[in-house]
Each structure stands twice: as C-alpha cells, then as structure tokens.
Amino acid sequence: MAGSDKVQHFTSAQPPIASETGAVELISGPERDLLCVLSYTHLASGQSAKSVALLRLVAHEQSQDIDLLRILAYALISERRGDEALSVLDKLDKLDDEPSSCLPLMLMRSHALRHSGRMTEARAVFKRYVSLRGSTAAIEQH
C-alpha cells in the first residue's frame, strides 16, 4: 500500500481500440456508456457543469454520436452556454435525420438562442415550434 505522500497510478489493462477508419479510440463502448450514464445522472440532479465535463470527454472521441450530442446540447443549455449549444445543434441538424427529432431540437435551439442573447431569433424559432407542435398534435389525435 502506498503512503499518503505517494500517488498511485492505474492504467487500463486493455489496449486502445482501432476503429474501421484506423483511428485509435481511447474510450471503449462500455466506458462511453458509463460516462454517459454518469453525465445523465449529474444532469438529472442539477449538476449540469459536471455533466458537460463528462460529455465533452466522450464527444471528443465520438463526435458523430447523435444520442450523445443531444444530451450534450441539453446540458450546455442547462449551463446557459448558448453559443456552444448552438454549435452542437448545428451538427445535429446535419447528422440527425429522424423526423421525431425535429421538434425537440427546435425547442432546444430556441433556448440556446435565448441564452446567446439572440432574443428575436429565439422568439421566432419558439413560435415556429409552437405552430408545428400544434399541427402535429392535431394530426396525432385523428
């Protein structure tokens, strides 16, 4: 056992994983999942700064992961980092072609714009969100 004045260093027993593109992934699938769960737990308990820090670790490695980017955008909005959230939302606009994502991403964009101080744009996006949400609800009831 090391004394209190000595630092113990632990290293992973598993080597880095090479992806299909030949790039080395430093975070494995289970590690990614654990970091995402921890970040989601922090976010749910009002510790969005910790959530953002964990998500950035994963996002650095997995920048095309749509689910991860959605949580990161939400966490950045919770931290009132509108410009950063807008950057993530712009990326999601290019990657996420799921029709059911349109309205939630639009609402998040409205909040991100508001936190960036772009109130006129935020209002316009929110009004569009409300009108689309209303028309979607009417369609779903029939």
Per-residue pLDDT of the chain (142 residues; tens, 9 = 90+): 444 444 443 334 444 444 444 444 567 778 878 887 888 888 888 888 888 888 888 887 667 888 889 989 999 999 999 999 999 999 999 998 888 889 999 999 999 999 999 999 999 999 999 998 877 655 554 4
Q: Measured between alpha carbons, how far is 64 from 44 in angstroms, rounded to an integer?
A: 24
Write the CATH number for 36: 1.25.40.10
Is residue 76 in a domain? yes
Is residue 99 in a domain? yes
| b/e code 52-64 from CB counts within 10 Å (16+ = b) | bebbeebbebbee
Q: Do residues 125 and 113 make contact, with C-beta atoms less than 8 angstroms apart?
A: yes
Is residue 9 in a domain? no
Is residue 7 in a domain? no
- Name the residue among 40, 64, 63, 61 with its Cα closest to residue 52: 40
**The model scores a pTM over 0.85:** no
- Domain range for 51 is 18-141
Is residue 8 in a domain? no
Is residue 12 in a domain? no
Q: Residue 25's pLDDT is what?
A: 57
Sequence-ordered strand ranges (E) for the chain: 17-18, 24-25
For residue 117, which amino acid is it? Answer: G
Number of domains forming the structure of the chain: 1
Q: Residue 73's pLDDT is what?
A: 93
